[in-house]
Structure 1
């Protein structure tokens, strides 16, 4: 895996989606990728050079080869197993979100701390006790986590996941969590995004 800047990593999924949408095209240019992803062609060329991927002058980049290289860099050349923490409305909705499967992510387990939810079925899975997370991580049940818990529980859940060995989390709780530098967290605050949109609407 290359040492890429966070900005480059954030752009790679956009490039990949565009390449997949144009899979019947043999080659694509940096200008085409730039227009569709709203960055400059120079940005695109720098990003792809950082991957060690070179195009052909006057021809462009092989669509299939570039898509395969980006998948490998993002770790999408294998199925990724995801654990969802929180079996409330949001967690249940995410567990049933079929597009995750199409993008190579398998929701392998869903957890909760509420005794009324533990043992019930949701999205075709049995809700597990959150206390079993460390054992499940050690057994390879999942290697990425989605936090769909209340703000008050997010930090303690994150700490338990880090202690168990999880290094990648998507946090839907409306609070910023503190993790060690080697752990990657992406924050999705729906209320924040709606407040921003409210300014325009």
Structure 2
């Protein structure tokens, strides 16, 4: 008899579960005990039907007429996302963005710990950022091996991001978050998520310009 395959949750749903977790954590901190699907959906920026579909991947959660028990749902999502245990992360590129990420205390409360900060610039090596000392990038592989870091964050210039990605993957890192404005290629078994702030700003600018167009012009473009 074979073991059943683990339930697969779509990537888009996983992203929304992380948002629900953030909202629920705020509700717990505020002393709330229950929340309706409408309230939770509104706070997360989704529609109630979509929320219920997302939560269906977790099994039965709410009670009709009552809603969701806030702490119970938060803990269930946290277990599914794996944030109840600490994840060791390394960050490469301690410029303005990298330093801001390393100094952000919110990652620690969500189960992520930066165990190594790295930069190629001698002027940055030895600086204290977010409670950690910046190391030379030559020590990257050793730190990944020592700490068993599973997540790498890249905030380097675009021209060196691929080489950093290659080194992280070769060292055993299996999840990479890339802020460099370039598409990275990773070997099978290594997940890469791209965060391009300039693209996001361009999308927002486009949406804003669409709202300001006269209705007749928008209709004529259809």
How high is the TM-score relative to the length of structure 2?
Answer: 0.81
Say whether the 8 Å CA contact 1:82–1:109 is kept in structure 2: yes
Say whether the 8 Å CA contact 1:53–1:66 is kept in structure 2: no
- The equivalent of 2:142 in structure 1 is 135
- The equivalent of 1:5 in structure 2 is 10
CA–CA distance in structure 2, aligned partners of residues 181 and 11 of structure 1 = 25
User: 1:53–1:165: structure 2 CA closer, same or farther, 3 Å change rule?
Assistant: farther
Say whether the 8 Å CA contact 2:90–2:144 is kept in structure 1: no
- The equivalent of 1:124 in structure 2 is 131
- The equivalent of 1:179 in structure 2 is 186
User: 1:5–1:99: structure 2 CA closer, same or farther, 3 Å change rule?
Assistant: same
Q: Deviations over 1:5-56 (max 9, x none)?
A: 0111010111112212222232222222222223232222221121224322
- The equivalent of 2:27 in structure 1 is 22
Q: Deviations over 1:130-165 (max 9, x none)?
A: 222222222225321110101011111111111111
User: 1:194–1:21: structure 2 CA closer, same or farther, 3 Å change rule?
Assistant: same
- The equivalent of 2:83 in structure 1 is 76
Q: Deviations over 1:98-144 (max 9, x none)?
A: 22223332222101123343334334322212222222222225321
CA–CA distance in structure 2, aligned partners of residues 54 and 174 of structure 1 = 40
Say whether the 8 Å CA contact 2:86–2:111 is kept in structure 1: yes
**Match runs of 1:16-95 below 5 Å:** 16-23=21-28, 24-95=31-102
Q: Which runs of 5+ in 1 are unaligned?
A: none
How high is the TM-score relative to the length of structure 1?
Answer: 0.88
C-alpha RMSD over aligned residues:
2.1
CA–CA distance in structure 1, aligned partners of residues 101 and 71 of structure 2 = 30
- The equivalent of 2:104 in structure 1 is 97
